[in-house]
Each structure stands twice: as structure tokens, then as C-alpha cells.
Amino acid sequence: MRAHLQSIDELPTLLAAQRRAFDQQGPVSAEQRRGRIQQVIDLLVEHHQQLAEAMDADFGGRHPGFGLMNDVLGSLGSLKHARDHLHEWMPNEPRQVFAPYDQLGAQGWVQYQPKGSVGIIGTWNAPLFTLLSPLACAFAAGNRAVLKPSEIVPRTAELLAQLVGQRFDPLELAIITGGVEVGQPFASQPFNHLVFTGSTEVGRDIMRRAAENLVPVTLELGGKSPVVIGQNADVAEAARRLAIAKGMNGGQLCISPDRVFVPVALREQFLRQFAETYSGLYPSVTDNPNQVCVVNERHLQRLDGYLQEVREMGVEVLQCPDVPFDASQRRRPLSLVVNPPLTSRIMREEIFGPALVVLTYSDIRHVVEEINQGERPLALYYFGQDQAEQDHVLGHTLSGGVTINDALMHAAMENAPFGGIGASGMGRYHGREGFLEFSHARTVFQAAAVDPRAEWGMLPPYHEGFTAVMQSQISR
């Protein structure tokens, strides 16, 4: 049996074999879990350059250094944190036993057990990270796994499959490549847990398929992550940090800022400062190796369509940098779209590319209302120094995570959970919460040596005063 599966038809046999191996092995030691994680770390360290070059080729232009930062180092951060802390997460957790059995010597605890086999479906925008970061938590919890990379980045998927196939026992980790013809039946398999990163629409289909086998799911989706710039924010600094964040991966990140709410009086300053910063980072477009390409023609046509529609509506669109570019390439300047109508596609759909909606406001309460009228976003960003205003925004909204006075940063916290809510996903990975996500929490009660229930008159046949004794225990 190979770790690199050649056909989806091999997957049921592999899962059955992983199940048998899981049942026969019993408890998975901390040493075994660390060993599995270390193999993934070694794979990345030894082949990081090849992987970065494959991602660059798949995107048609993604700086290898950015690939190393975003996917290799990002994955290594998750893997090393899990490796170095799993021994803290594994021990049984004592729980207080109810009276009077606690006085008689009974004990209780929660045992965290691996679930079995975890299926992980990655996405193209972070093709290594969306596979290996959840894998870190799955391995830390003692599970086995099967990876399914995105077909939109075929070179990266095939290289990773070769490397996994060379290094891993398929009973511990396997991988299969392919498109929808593989992804749909993959999600229909009886895994013990399934992870999917991608669009909300596809996430719904994944969840329906998993439900057929009652497989629990972790869905990392997306949404139109909002930015709220407060009345007393440092606008220049907010614009600078947002320009940096929006340039990451060409805006093709699930937590990329999607729309910015700016006070009316600060509009011109924000637009000017953002454009200056972004144009300083990316002064040219055509053949600029620092700018990540839109991943394929389909996504490029989608983004160009958004901008064509709002221009035809007469909406103000500012281009950063404002220079000529070769439209035949998949590199694009960033477009600031100012106050587009709610009916426009760019206001209804996740942008996921080099464009940003700027919306002006006069009352922060109306901003919160507008955010709450849409689906729950994966990320929310607030810039400002007013604690009451910050508390109002955070207290009256729901999102997967929050970064204050910056963007993207909360997702880099390896010791804190990363996940969505509602349409932006469910479940989480990273840190102990990720370990718990892929663990079965089993309650164990160990009885005392003596059972006094008969002596206390608690067993049938019940005496005359039994009901009165029970009633006496009822209280507020």
C-alpha cells in the first residue's frame, strides 16, 4: 500500500486499514506523536526550495520568498508549537466527583483520545499551510490522516504527494491528488473527522456529504472581513498597515480585509495614505516579481468583472499604483472602490484579490448594523484609540477572530484558536483548542470500593419515606 494514492478507489481500503491499525495500536504515546510531526517538519526543511518554486510556478508569479514565509514558515510554526506542547495537552484532566461519592473515594477524569483518521482538504491560496497546519493538531491528538491538496495548484500538489509518498507509512499519513472527481467522494468517506478550507458554497456541500456518515467537520471558510476605522484612529498608520495586509498574497487570503468603513471626514486622507503606501510597496505591476499573480484566468475574469460593473455604475475607482500595465498578465494593480451600491457584485461576494471597498460613515452604530446584516466574517479589524468605541464594535459583532490596530495578525497566534463562525466556518485549529478539536473527550468515573446505596435506602423496594427524602433535596 502506497502513501501516495493513485485513485479514489483506493481510499476506502486505506481507511479500513488505518482503522485496524488504530484499534490494534491502542494509546498513541507522546513520542510517537512527536515523531510523526517531526517527519513533516523534516520534509519541509529539506524540500522548502522545491516547494516554494512549485508554488511560484502554479501561481504564474508568486515570489519564492513569500511562499517560504506564508506556507513553509507558517506551517513550521504550527508543527513546532504542537510538537513542543502536546505533552502538556495529553494528560487526563481530573474532574470533581459529585457528593457524597467524592467523600467515599470515587474519582473522575476526562481522557483525551485520538478520533482515528482525519481527512484534510486544502485550498490553493495557501496550499501547504491549509493542509499542514491542521495536520499538526491532528497528529498532536494522536490521529492518522489523509491529505487532499487543491487541484488549482497542481505542481505543488504533485510535489507534496511525491514527498509524502517517499517519507510516510500510509497507515499514518497518505495523500491523494485530483479535482472535483476526487474531492467529492473524498468528503463522502467515513473519516472520523474532516477538515475543509475553501469557499462557503463548497463548504456547504462538504458538510452535506460528511453528514451522510455523521462525520464531524472543521470548516475554514471566508467572508467579507470588515475593517472599522474609528473617529480618533491614526489614519495614516491604519492606511499603512492595511496596505501591507492587502498586498499579502495579492489579497488572496481568507482573512484579507474586504471592506473598510472610514469616517466621512477622514475619507480623503485614508485614500491618499493607502495609495501612497501601496504604490510604494508595489510601484509597478507588469513583471513585478514582488506582486503575487491572480491564481488563474477564471479568478482574473471574476475580479475584472467586479471592477467593470462598478465603473459602468459610475462608482469612483482608484488604481494603486496608477501606472499602465500589461492586461495579458495576471498581475493587477489594487483597486480602491469607493462607496459602491449594495447591489453590486463586489458588495455581495468575497473579493479574494487585489481590490478593496471603501465605505464612508457618520455613525459607528450604523457600521455595526451593516456588518451584522451580512454573514458572520472570518475576521474583523478595528483601528482606534477609543476604548468605549472599541468595546462597542467588538461587543456588538461576531467574527471568527479580531485584530486591533493591524490586520491578519491574530491568525499567526499558534497558541490561540483559529476558526470561523456561521458562514465563515465552524471548528478551529492551532494550539490546545486545535488538539481538543481532533480529540474525543471521554469522561471516566471510577467508583469507590464501598457502595452504600442499599444502606441509605436508595434501592428498591423503596421505603415509605423515599419520596419525601427526594423532595427534601430539591432546592434553588
Given the residues 137, 254, 293, 320, select the one marked as catalytic. 254
Residue with cell string 481527512: 119
Q: What phi-psi label fits residue 344: left (phi over 0), alpha (psi between -120 and 50 degrees) or beta? A: beta
The rounded distance, in Å, linking the Cα atoms of 174 and 160 is 11
The DSSP annotation for 155-182 comes to HHHHHHHHHHHHH--TTTEEEE--SHHH
Look at residue 2 and give its three-state secondary structure.
coil
The rounded distance, in Å, linking the Cα atoms of 261 and 242 is 12
Given the residues 46, 181, 212, 220, select the one marked as catalytic. 220
Q: What phi-psi label fits residue 443: left (phi over 0), alpha (psi between -120 and 50 degrees) or beta? A: beta
Q: Confirm if 109 and 92 have CB atoms less than 8 A apart.
A: yes
Q: Confirm if 226 and 371 have CB atoms less than 8 A apart.
A: yes
The DSSP annotation for 116-152 comes to SEEEEE--SSSTTHHHHHHHHHHHHTT-EEEEE--TT
State the cell numbers at 185. Answer: 467522494
Q: What is the DSSP-derived secondary structure letter of residue 460?
A: S
Residue 72's nearest CA partner among 4, 159, 6, 148 is: 159
Residue 41's nearest CA partner among 68, 77, 16 is: 77
In DSSP terms, 440 is beta-bridged to 113
* Straight-line distance from the first to the last Cα atom of the chain, in angstroms, rounded to the nearest whole number: 61
Q: What is the CA radius of gyration of the chain?
A: 26
The rounded distance, in Å, linking the Cα atoms of 46 and 400 is 34
- Sign of the alpha-carbon dihedral angle for 62, 63, 66, 72: positive
Judge whether 220 counts as a catalytic residue. yes
The Cα-based distances of 156 to 30, 103, 143, 221 in angstroms read: 31, 60, 24, 21
Contacts of 354-357 with C-beta under 8 Å, sequence gap 24+, read 354/246, 354/250, 354/251, 354/294, 354/303, 355/251, 355/303, 355/306, 355/307, 356/242, 356/246, 356/251, 356/257, 356/258, 356/259, 356/260, 356/274, 357/258, 357/259, 357/260
H-helix or E-strand spanning residue 405: none
> How many CA within 13 A on the CB side of residue 133?
32
Q: Confirm if 108 and 445 have CB atoms less than 8 A apart.
A: yes
Which of the residues are catalytic? Answer: 220, 254
